[in-house]
Amino acid sequence: MPHSNFDMETKQILVTGGTGYIGSHTVVELQNAGYEVIIVDNLSNSSVEVLGGIERITGIRPAFEQFDLIEKDKMDAFFSSYRNIEAIIHFAASKAVGESVEKPLLYYRNNLVSMINLLECQIKYGISNIVFSSSCTVYGQPDVLPVTENTPRKDAESPYGNTKRVNEDILKDTIAANPQIKGIALRYFNPVGAHPSAEIGELPLGIPANLVPFVTQTAAGLRTELMVFGNDYNTVDGSAVRDYINVVDLAKAHVIAVNRLVENKNKSGYEIFNLGTGTGISVLEIIQAFENSTGVKLNYKIVDRRAGDIEKIWADTTYANEELGWKAEKGLEETLLSAWNWEKKIRGIR
Ligand code: NAD
Ligand code: WQD
């Protein structure tokens, strides 16, 4: 493991999962804000080529260490060689809901052991600040909409969802017992889109489980048609409703969260923020907005509901807006166009 040759004055941020979808966009925003970034990723769901995309956008190639966070000895060696880390943003996790139902132990091991190892090292190496990627999945189908941070969590619908809930609790309890550590859990709603440069974006392996990659792959001709899962929900047009948040807007919230911790502006040791737009959008509205913004007609058909899906959810973003001074800025059509430009770029479509 190489020793850091960073300027000791510059604040270093460890980004676990930094070659992944949300991580890579966050690395760009951190570097734009003047932070030095070190990425740790095992490349289980991303490619080292993402580093080139980050470099082309920012002019800076972030430091990169490839290892698995469940390997404690490697993590320990990492922290003994990088001694100037101010904050950790912990993105690394397995995230496929369906796969987590098939392989629960893989999900519990990867997501929980990584978190525990990281917090143990944080304490040992005296790193004060951590931002954790949580998810609106912890709310299940809420009884009241929109959801605030105080909306009660519900039993998780999947082992994946349960790892988010348990990791939130692990973080909260660890901070309660170790007040020198401060943490922020960010509950993302549905992150979509890509960097406007089309240098980085989402790279799903195999058949996409998520809506927007399936939309763009259908438009690109990789899939024959999009299946709309259900049109008999109690929503505006019968299709299910979510809060789709642009990934660059989401990335910017991480910079604000890191600043808040580094500058000691947090109100308590453990804080939670919803990150969404505050607007619910149906699947059929996504299709319409995609067609409007790209001019591409989408093949789709209505099929049965997908098992485990909730009907509708969107965020109350008041707390993030007021307390973080953060607001989602990008519109839905701009966001879907960025997803399409990224898909075209990786498929060589002009
Ligand atoms: P992603 O799969 O693109 O990125 C995760 C990265 O972590 C990948 O690069 C993967 O290789 C790496 N990784 C996984 N396990 C690792 C391990 N044990 N050691 C080292 N690296 C490891 O996923 P993403 O969409 O960027 O999600 C980032 C985080 O946000 C995850 O924690 C995810 O659960 C959470 N989240 C995502 C969404 C979403 O819809 N994308 C929504 C809510 C929350
Ligand atoms: C969105 C909507 C589908 C695909 C998942 C996780 C959640 C969070 C975000 C991490 C739903 C519909 C989808 C398709 C469709 N991840 N759909 N046809 O299910 O809201 O959330 O990702 O924490 O935990 O569960 O996102 O993109 O899969 O679906 O009609 O081919 O699109 O039914 O209503 P979801 P999604």
Express as a percent the part of the chain with pLDDT over 70: 97
Give the pTM: 0.97
Q: What is the pLDDT of residue 9?
A: 64
User: Is 244 a known active-site residue?
Assistant: no
Residue ranges, comma separated, of all CATH 3.40.50.720 domains in the chain are: 12-192+244-275
The CATH fold of domain 12-192+244-275:
Rossmann fold (3.40.50)
d(CA 69, CA 78): 10
Ligand 2 binding pocket, CB closer than 6 Å = 95, 97, 135, 137, 161, 190, 209-211, 214, 226-229, 240, 242, 283, 306, 309
Task: Note the CATH number of domain 211-242+278-342.
Answer: 3.90.25.10
Beta bridge partners of 87: 13, 129
Q: Is the pLDDT reported for residue 5 higher than 80?
A: no
Question: Tens digits of per-residue pLDDT, 307-321?
Answer: 999 999 999 999 999
- One DSSP character per residue, 215-252 reads HHHHHTTSSS-EEEE-S-SSSSSSS-EE-EEEHHHHHH
Going by alpha carbons, the residue nearest to atom 6 of ligand 1 is 17
DSSP state at residue 126: T
Question: Tens digits of per-residue pLDDT, 231-279?
Answer: 999 999 999 999 999 999 999 999 999 999 999 999 999 999 999 999 9
Q: Which of 190, 225, 281, 336 to mutate to test the pocket of ligand 2 (most atoms within 8 A of CB)?
A: 190
Q: Is the pLDDT reported for residue 6 higher than 60?
A: no
Residues whose CB falls within 8 Å of the CB of residue 331, separated by 6 or more in sequence, listed in order:
none
Beta bridge partners of 15: 39, 89
Burial label, 87 (beta-carbon count in 10 A; 0-12, 13-18, 19+): buried
Residue ranges, comma separated, of all CATH 3.90.25.10 domains in the chain are: 211-242+278-342
Average pLDDT over residues 180-202: 98
Question: Tens digits of per-residue pLDDT, 288-347?
Answer: 999 999 999 999 999 999 999 999 999 999 999 999 999 999 999 999 999 999 999 999
d(CA 280, CA 278): 7
Ligand 1 atom showing the smallest separation from residue 69 Cα: 19
